[in-house]
DNA sequence: TGGAAAATCTACCGCGTGGTCAGTAGTCTG
DNA sequence: CAGACTACTGACCACGCGGTAGATTTTCCA
C-alpha cells in the first residue's frame, strides 16, 4: 500500500462531504439521506460526489468511521488514564461527555446501530460489550468491586443505561446528562461495592 | 362512530396482513419492507393490500399497534397484580419474558423506536419513562426504596438496561434473558435498598 | 503558456417504490 | 334472476433512487 498522495481539493472535499453527511443523517436519518441530498448540501452534483467516493455507501461508511474514530480516541484516552473502578467511571463520563457535546455524531451512531446493515465495525475488533466487560473484570480483580459481579451481564446493563441517558438527551435537550452520568456512577458504586 | 361491522374475510385478511408485516419487519427491517413484499408474502396483489388498508403506512401502523397492544396487555396485568418494589420487578420480568418469547415482535418495536417517524404512540398517552417513574416513585413512597432515589433518572437507567438485555437476546440467541433480568433486579435491590 | 490531469457538469438509464384505475369473478339478497 | 356489493387482478403512472457517460471547465506545472 503506497498510500497515494491526496490532492488538497480531494482532502477538503472528502472532509466536507463527510461533514454534511453526518449532519444529514443526524437530521433525516439514515434512510432519508440520499445521494442527491448529500450533493445538494455540499453544493455540487451527484456525479461529483461519486467522483470522490466510489459509491454512496462509501460516503456514509466514511462518515461513520470518522465519527467513531473521534469517539474512540476520546474515550480511549480517558480510560487509559485510569485503572480499576476509576477506569469504568471514566468510561461512563467521557462517553456521555462526548456525545452530549456532539449531538449530530450521536444521532449518527444511534442510527447506524439499528438501521445500517453494512455499516458496522470491522469484524475482528472486540465488541463494545467485551471491552467494557474487560474493564469491569479488571476493576473486580483489583478489588474495587465485589468478587461475584458478572462482568458480561454488568457490561450489558451498564451500556444499556448509558445509551438510554444519551438517547434521553437527544429527545429532551434540557436533560442534564452530566448529572445523569453521576447518578449512574453512584448507583453502580452502591451495587458493585 | 357507528363502527361498521367488518366482514369475516376482512377481519381475516387484516389479521393475515398484520402478521406477515410483523414478520417482514422483523426479518428485513422497516426500510426493507415494501408494499410489494407484503403483498407477495400474503399471496395477493399490491392493490388488494391497499383495498384493505388506505396506505402502506397504515398497514405498518396497524402491525405496530397490534404488537404494542399485546405487550402492554401482558405487562399491565403483571404490574397491576403487585405493588411497591414488587411491581417494579414484575415490570422487568414480564417485559423481558414477553419479548424473549416473541422475538419478531421485539424486532418490530426496536425498529419502530429508531426508524419510524410516523409510527409512534398517541401523543396524549404517558411515555414509558413516565409510567416507570411513577412505579418507582410509588415503591419509594411505600418505603421499599430509599427516600433519595430519583424516579425519573432511575426510570431512564432501568429502561435502558432492560432494552439492552432484550437487544442482546436478539443478537445472541444463547443469552439467558431470565437470568439477566434476575441479575438486574438484584442490582436494583442493592442500590435502591 | 500550453497541455495534461483534476474536478466538475448535464443528461440519461434502469429499477423499485407507493399508489391509482378499470375491469371482473363470485356471492349474497330482494 | 337481476343487481348490488365484496374482494380481487393486472396494467399502468410518476417519482426518487444510485449510478454512468461524455463533454467541459479549472488547476497546476514543465
Q: Which tens digits make up the pLDDT trace of A89-114? A: 999 999 999 998 999 999 888 877 66
Which chain B residues have a beta carbon less than 8 Å from that of A117? 29
A118 is near strand D: CB distance < 7 Å: no
Nearest to B170 by CA among B113, B117, B111, B100: B100
Secondary structure tally for chain A: helices H, strands E = 9, 0
As a rounded value in angstroms, the CA-to-C1' distance for A59 and D20 is: 18
When pLDDT is averaged across residues A165-178 and rounded to a whole number, the result is: 93
C-alpha cell of residue B139:
415503591
Classify domain A8-192 at the CATH superfamily level: Tetracycline Repressor, domain 2 (1.10.357.10)
Instruction: Say which of B114, B164, B190 has its CB closest to residue A157.
Output: B164
The reply to whether residue A156 touches residue B180, judged by beta carbons under 8 angstroms, is yes
Q: For B51-94, how does the pLDDT look when each residue is reduced to its tens digit (9 = 90+)?
A: 999 999 999 999 999 999 999 999 999 999 999 999 999 999 99
Which chain A residues have a beta carbon less than 8 Å from that of B111? 114
C-alpha cell of residue B189:
435491590
**DSSP secondary structure of A120-156:** ---TTSPPHHHHHHHHHHHHHHTTSS-TT--HHHHHH
**CA B166 to chain CA centroid, nearest Å:** 11
A48 is near strand C: CB distance < 7 Å: yes
Kindly report the pTM of this predicted structure: 0.90
Among A50-64, A104-118, B98-112, the range of highest mean pLDDT: A50-64
Separation in Å, CA of B158 to nearest CA in chain A: 7
A50 is near strand D: CB distance < 7 Å: yes
Kindly list the distances between the CA atom of residue B161 and the CA atoms of A61, A153, A156, B102, in Å, as whole numbers in the listed order.
28, 10, 7, 19
Q: For A60-95, how does the pLDDT look when each residue is reduced to its tens digit (9 = 90+)?
A: 999 999 999 999 999 999 999 999 999 999 999 999
Q: Judge contact between A99 and A163, C-beta under 8 A.
A: no
Kindly list the distances between the CA atom of residue A147 and the CA atoms of A157, A192, B37, B69, B155, in Å, as whole numbers in the listed order.
18, 9, 52, 42, 27
The reply to whether residue A160 touches residue B156, judged by beta carbons under 8 angstroms, is no
pLDDT bucket at A121, cuts 50 / 70 / 90: low
**Which of chain D's bases lie under 7 Å from a protein CB?**
6-11, 16-22, 28
Output the pLDDT for position A126.
83
Nearest to A36 by CA among A56, A18, A53, A22: A56
Is the per-residue pLDDT at A5 higher than 80?
Answer: no
Output the pLDDT for position B114.
62
Distance CA B16, CA B152 (A): 39
Q: How many CB atoms lie within 10 A of CB B130?
A: 13
Distance CA B112, CA B33 (A): 12
The reply to whether residue B117 touches residue A29, judged by beta carbons under 8 angstroms, is yes
A28 is near strand D: CB distance < 7 Å: no
Q: For B130-160, how does the pLDDT look when each residue is reduced to its tens digit (9 = 90+)?
A: 999 999 999 999 999 999 999 999 999 999 9
By a Cβ cutoff of 8 Å, what residues of chain B touch chain A? 29-31, 110-111, 113-115, 117, 129, 150, 153-154, 156-165, 167-168, 179-180, 183-184, 187, 190-191
What b/e string do you get for A83-101 counting C-beta neighbours within 10 Å, with b at 16 or more? ebbebbbbbbbbbbbbbbe
Share of chain A above pLDDT 90, in %: 79
Amino acid at each position: 500500500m503506497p498510500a497515494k498522495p491526496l490532492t488538497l481539493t480531494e482532502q477538503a472535499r472528502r472532509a466536507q462531504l463527510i461533514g454534511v453527511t453526518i449532519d444529514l443523517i443526524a437530521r433525516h436519518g439514515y434512510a432519508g439521506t440520499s445521494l442527491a441530498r448529500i450533493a445538494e448540501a455540499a453544493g455540487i452534483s451527484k456525479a461529483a460526489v461519486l467522483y470522490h467516493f466510489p459509491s454512496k455507501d462509501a460516503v456514509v461508511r466514511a462518515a461513520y468511521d470518522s465519527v467513531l474514530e473521534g469517539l474512540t480516541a476520546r474515550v480511549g484516552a480517558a480510560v487509559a488514564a485510569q485503572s480499576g473502578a476509576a477506569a469504568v467511571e471514566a468510561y461512563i463520563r467521557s462517553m456521555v461527555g462526548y456525545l452530549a457535546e456532539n449531538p449530530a455524531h450521536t444521532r449518527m451512531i444511534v442510527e447506524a446501530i439499528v438501521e445500517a446493515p453494512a455499516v458496522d465495525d470491522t469484524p475482528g475488533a472486540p465488541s463494545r460489550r467485551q471491552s467494557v466487560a474487560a474493564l469491569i473484570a479488571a476493576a473486580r480483580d483489583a478489588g474495587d468491586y465485589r468478587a461475584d459481579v458478572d462482568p458480561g451481564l454488568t457490561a450489558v446493563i451498564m451500556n444499556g443505561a448509558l445509551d438510554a441517558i444519551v438517547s434521553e438527551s437527544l429527545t429532551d435537550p434540557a436533560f442534564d446528562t452530566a448529572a445523569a452520568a453521576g447518578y449512574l456512577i453512584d448507583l453502580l458504586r452502591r451495587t458493585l461495592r
